[in-house]
Amino acid sequence: MSGEQKASYHLRIISPVRLITDAEVTEVQVPSLDGYLGIWPGHRPLNACLSEGEIIYKTADNREEKVEIKGGIIKVENDKIIILTGINND
Amino acid sequence: MPTLIDLRRRIQSIKNSQQVTQAMKTVATARYKKAHRLVIERRPFWHLFPEVAISLTKALNLSEHPYLQVRRENKLLAVVVTSDKGLCGAFNSNLLEKASRFLEQKKEGSEIKVIPIGKKAVNYFKNSPYQVERSYFDRVEKKIPEISLDLGSWIDYQFTFQRFDVVYVLYNEFHSIIAPRITLTKLLPITSEKDTSETPEVSYLEPIWEPEASRVIDYLLRIYIHNQVEHFLYESQTSEQASRMMAMENASRNAGELISDLVLLLNKIRQASITRELLEIQTAVEALRQQGV
């Protein structure tokens, strides 16, 4: 991080059967095990388990979209987010 | 010189073979399209999943997880994936040759056990010096989910209890319809292969783990083997269909060439015999005329 923050994340949501989302986003909300987490640009690196719920994200052109998932893993790095879904949490 | 009737029979029989190969090609094409779509859709997950797993496990020193323990390769397990049926070119023979070369290399100093998948591999390893642990064959392509669950949990159990130190998988990865790519991967233990090339990410912030790291990783690795087994079975199936498609196309084309050659020969012979008969008639007529009939 060289002082400048990118204003968006490259978000990929991938289920075992297909690539669900591949987009530039400015804001993501995910269902973590203890409730929803909001992730804005400049978030600290994060690795977390997700529970069943909806991922809500805002794309670069300001549309809000929702994806339903049944558990998964989220990995947040400097400018990209990878969410692997369909890993059942039991 | 073959007689006309023989040639006609031969041409007919080649035509019949050509019809069979064309039908097989059509079937393989349909299956290939279906399998190919599935592989393309699922590939992002198959490829990203190990990547994420590796990067997460690298962040922490978690060698207590059984999948991450690198031991000396004393007990080796090789999973070899081929097809059930033949008629798909060099698909199986190339892979089995590679497998035997690889195992030959590893024979020194490690005890090798094999799990063949697909009839071709099962038959091949029947007569080999390696011990076959278990095998899967007969309509493998219809039972991929069941097989990957079964084999996945078996490998998980065996590896966790240290019955094996390393698990290799050899399969045909779908690369293009021209030829598959023979791939040898290390399924377990999970190690990052490009350790040296990859520079550690410059991030002075330690990542947040939610919940604690060991649980996140445990959660992730739970489906790792099952997912990867599924991956190589589907890849192998797709490249099998692609190989069969190509093999059958070649066979149909060769049959076509053969037929046109034979038809040419047939016509030549027919023409020659007509010419000969004409000549005979001509001579007979000439002879009769000279006798003054």
Choose the closest CB to A46 out of B207, B222, B227: B207
pLDDT score, position A5 = 58
Looking at residues A51-73, what average pLDDT do you find? 89
Same domain, B242 and B190: yes
Does A50 have pLDDT greater than 80? yes
Choose the closest CB to A18 out of B42, B59, B205: B42
Please report residues of B whose CB lies closer than 8 A to that of A75: 52, 55-56
- The domain tally of chain B equals 2
**Is B215 in Cβ contact with A46 (below 8 Å)?**
no
Nearest to A27 by CA among A62, A75, A54: A62
Same domain, B54 and B76: yes
Closest-CA residue of chain B to A86: B223
Same domain, B14 and B78: no
Domain chopping of chain A, boundaries: 9-85
Closest-CA residue of chain A to B59: A47
Respond yes or no on whether the N-terminal peptide bond of residue B50 is cis (omega within 30° of 0): no
Let me know: does A66 contact A56? Beta carbons within 8 Å.
Answer: yes
Same domain, B226 and B265: no
Same domain, B217 and B270: no
**Is A45 in Cβ contact with B48 (below 8 Å)?**
no
A9-85: CATH topology: ATP Synthase; domain 1 (2.60.15)
- Is the CB of B201 inside 8 Å of chain A's CB atoms? yes
Strands A35-39 and A9-14: unpaired
Chain B: closest CA distance from residue A47 (Å): 5
Does A88 have pLDDT greater than 70? no
Same domain, B252 and B239: no
Q: What is the DSSP string of chain B?
A: ---HHHHHHHHHHHHHHHHHHHHHHHHHHHHHHHHHHHHHHHHHHHHHHHHHHHHHHHHTT-TTSGGG----SSEEEEEEE--SS--STTHHHHHHHHHHHHHHHHTTTSEEEEEEESHHHHHHHHTSSSEE---B-SSGGG-HHHHHHHHHHHHHHHHHTTS-SEEEEEEEE---SS--EEEEEEEES---TTTTTSPPP---SPPEEES-HHHHHHHHHTTHHHHHHHHHHHHHHHHHHHHHHHHHHHHHHHHHHHHHHHHHHHHHHHHHHHHHHHHHHHHHHHHHHHTT-
- Is the CB of B270 inside 8 Å of chain A's CB atoms? no
Please report residues of B whose CB lies closer than 8 A to that of A14: 44-45, 48
Q: Is the dihedral of CA B116, B119, B124, B125 positive or negative?
A: positive
Please report residues of B whose CB lies closer than 8 A to that of A84: 45, 48-49, 52, 220
Choose the closest CB to B52 out of A1, A44, A75: A75
User: Distance between CA atoms of A72 and A81, rounded to whole angstroms?
Assistant: 13
Please give the residue range of the domain that contains residue B180: 27-197+206-247
Looking at residues A44-48, what average pLDDT do you find? 88
- Whether pTM > 0.90 for this model: the answer is no
Does A90 have pLDDT greater than 70? no
User: Complex ipTM, two decimals?
Assistant: 0.81
- Is the CB of B222 inside 8 Å of chain A's CB atoms? yes
Does A89 have pLDDT greater than 80? no
Same domain, B16 and B46: no
Same domain, B72 and B182: yes
- Is the CB of B203 inside 8 Å of chain A's CB atoms? yes
**Is B56 in Cβ contact with A45 (below 8 Å)?**
no
Residue B250 in tokens: 């070649």
**Is B203 in Cβ contact with A45 (below 8 Å)?**
yes
Nearest-Å Rg of the Cα atoms of chain B is 30
Please report residues of B whose CB lies closer than 8 A to that of A76: 207
Same domain, B144 and B162: yes
pLDDT score, position B176 = 87
Closest-CA residue of chain B to A31: B210
Same domain, B221 and B233: yes
Chain B: closest CA distance from residue A16 (Å): 6
**Is A75 in Cβ contact with B210 (below 8 Å)?**
no
**Is A73 in Cβ contact with B219 (below 8 Å)?**
yes
Looking at residues A16-41, what average pLDDT do you find? 90
User: Distance between CA atoms of B48 and B41, rounded to whole angstroms?
Assistant: 13
What CATH number corresponds to the domain at position B243?
3.40.1380.10
Average pLDDT per 10 consecutive residues for chain B, totaling 293 residues: 87 95 95 93 89 78 74 90 90 92 88 92 90 88 89 90 91 88 88 55 68 80 86 92 93 96 94 94 93 77
Buried b (16+ CB within 10 A) or exposed e, B215-226: ebbebbbebbbb
Respond yes or no on whether the N-terminal peptide bond of residue B211 is cis (omega within 30° of 0): yes
**Which residues, other chains included, contact B87 with Cβ-Cβ below 8 Å and sequence gap of 6+?**
B24, B244, B247, B248
pLDDT score, position A6 = 66
